[in-house]
Chains A and B, each alone.
Chain A
Amino acid sequence: MAEEILFHVKDCALVSISTGVKAYILTELLDHLKQVEIGCLYYHFWARQLRPSFDHPEFHNDFAAWVHRELHDWVLAERLNLIAPHEFHNLEELREELINVLEERFDESGDLPWRKAEKPFYFVKSQIVVIDTGRRLNHPRQLLEVVPSLSQGSIFYHFIDARRRTPERIDDFRAWLSAFSPEYDDLSARLAAIDPYFLTLTEIRNQLAVVFEDYFGENHE
């Protein structure tokens, strides 16, 4: 019965679109945040691993990185960095949280809201093109063979973007394995230990491959 539940392998690519909106100071950033298209939040929180930019392991979203690099406010940068986008039900809730963190910091500090950055924050939004590759998996063991050959777009879609899509806010692999529960609960636990925020997409793929190799190498069926 369980073998009939199929995993649809998908791929995706991202297109970045400038909104023309930029901020030099935090009050500007806050004002724009309240109004910018919600797609900007997806871009600055989720999509950074899929676009041509250095994947800075210290910062998990563009707001934290900008505050750290341009305004040198460690407190705010650390708080922004801790915002985990998958913990919110939708991007509007995420926007709300971001605004709260900024306003709280404004209350604590004197000149920070007006400290001017040398380089502005550019609000960018994205379009994501999702492609059904037509590949279907009917048994978890197939992940062992398929994952090492997945594109970065596929890894992003199934391991990162999924945390926004799935009801449980988890990656697609674990969501699929849960249909076979409890047989693959141990494998799911190992996948849950991979923290995508500290890794590039290539590193995530490598770690996933190791987890599947180890697991199925231990003669699990």
Chain B
Amino acid sequence: MSVDIFLSLLTAAFALMVVFSKKTVVAAFALLMTLLTIAIIYFQVGTVFLSAVQVLVNAGAIAILFVFVMMLINLEQFPNNREKNKMKLIITSFTVLVIMGVLALVINNNIEMLSVENLTDNSMKALFDKLFTAYYLPFELATMLLLAAIVACIVITSHEKHEKHEKEELLETEKNR
């Protein structure tokens, strides 16, 4: 039980660092630590495979991708400043607090039903039996989605072809003159 509380406090502390740190790079590494502690929670709950996937995909790829993009953009001219409008800040904080209170109330009312551990068959075999039979079509569609995302990233970030066209058009207009 004490391990649960310790892990929760650690995750909450890193999550607070993500939102309230001044430097964006620090926020990115705090996000990396948050995802790693969530992976530890997965491991502690018993879903071992998803814990490994969380470390590999979310912490290893996504959080590092943020750091790579920060290297491409000169972040020193963009300090991580927050909303200057005090009224808006107060209203959003109040709204989020109300949402958090409602969620805590809902959890509190159903805590006996939720804290029962019903899942006995926790093996990877049960997971993949379901994934490759009932969820086969969504799985294939997800691979197509990843492929489309790769192509979209290349198309969005590459602008050489566009510039070439513009240069050719400029040259042609100059020739016509």
A binds B: no
